[in-house]
Amino acid sequence: MTNENNKKVMIIIAHPDDGEFGAGGTLAKWAREGFEIYYTLCTSGDKGTSDPKITASELTATRETEQQNAANVIGAKGVAFLRHTDGELNNNESLRQDISREIRRIKPDIVICQDPTNRFGDNHINHPDHRAAGDAALDCIYPSARDYHAFPQLINEGFMPHNVLEVYLTGPGGSTPTVIDISSTIEVKINALLEHRSQVGADNPERVEMLISRVKERANNLGKEFGVEYAEIFRYIALGR
Ligand SMILES: [Zn+2]
């Protein structure tokens, strides 16, 4: 489990709001315990509207502001936007170079990312961008960010190789999930989620109430299984030094 000395955390995700949904309570808890939290967004969610009048660049600006506000509520130190295209995310060389650059720049001990093996559940299909972001993040943790010769361009830019020590994967959690008690930060998670105003129907009190009860119910159902009030669950990989 998390080594107390591993204080720098990077969350790598496909879209604005993925971080708060999957790990907002954990990030807020760790921030309050003195961990440094950094976000890396693969896309800026520029397809996240059904309004034909809103352009992709307008939506990018809105959602980046919302993500920055949410990260502020969480207590994060920084947010980086890689600006790959929403809905078309590919685990290609370009994405891996961009993520590897961020890992080498921030040098996190712990990375949280999306579980790329999460294809579908009983009542949902996982977004392909989530799988691509998860695959790319894992491929960068090992080997691309770690290996000197992986991206000569990054060495030219001054970004030396970096070893990540621990990985937490958001999603269903697998057969032996790692459980984080978020009872002390469930309200922070919700407040951070509500900063994504364009996505949560911020002007519609009924929609907001429904979201709050859905998030609480899910965290409570997970928590009950493990004897706490509210929880988030992860698959955990200890890579060591
Ligand atoms: Zn998403």
| Domain ranges, ordered by start, for the chain | 8-238
DSSP the chain: ---TT--EEEEEESSTTHHHHHHHHHHHHHHHTT-EEEEEEEE--TT----TTS-HHHHHHHHHHHHHHHHHHHT-SEEEEEEEPTT----SHHHHHHHHHHHHHH--SEEEEE-TT--B-SS-B--HHHHHHHHHHHHIIIIITT-TTS-HHHHHTT-------EEEEESS--SS-EEEE-TTTHHHHHHHHHT-HHHHTTT-HHHHHHHHHHHHHHHHHHHHHTTSSSEEEEEEEE---
Options 3.40.50.720, 3.40.50.10320, 3.30.930.10, 3.30.2290.10; CATH for 8-238 is 3.40.50.10320
**Alpha carbon of 161 to ligand 1 centroid (Å):** 29
Residue 87 CA, ligand 1 centroid: distance in Å: 9
CA of 157 to the centre of ligand 1 (A): 30
pLDDT of residue 5: 72
Q: What is the pLDDT of residue 240?
A: 76
63-121 pLDDT, tens digit per residue, is 999 999 999 999 999 999 999 999 999 999 999 999 999 999 999 999 999 999 999 99
**pLDDT for position 1:** 60
Centroid of ligand 1 to alpha carbon of 109 (angstroms): 24
Cα 156 to ligand 1 centre (Å): 33
Tens-place pLDDT, residues 106-144: 999 999 999 999 999 999 999 999 999 999 999 999 999
Q: For the chain, what percent of residues have pLDDT higher than 90?
A: 93
pTM: 0.96
| pLDDT at res. 91 | 98
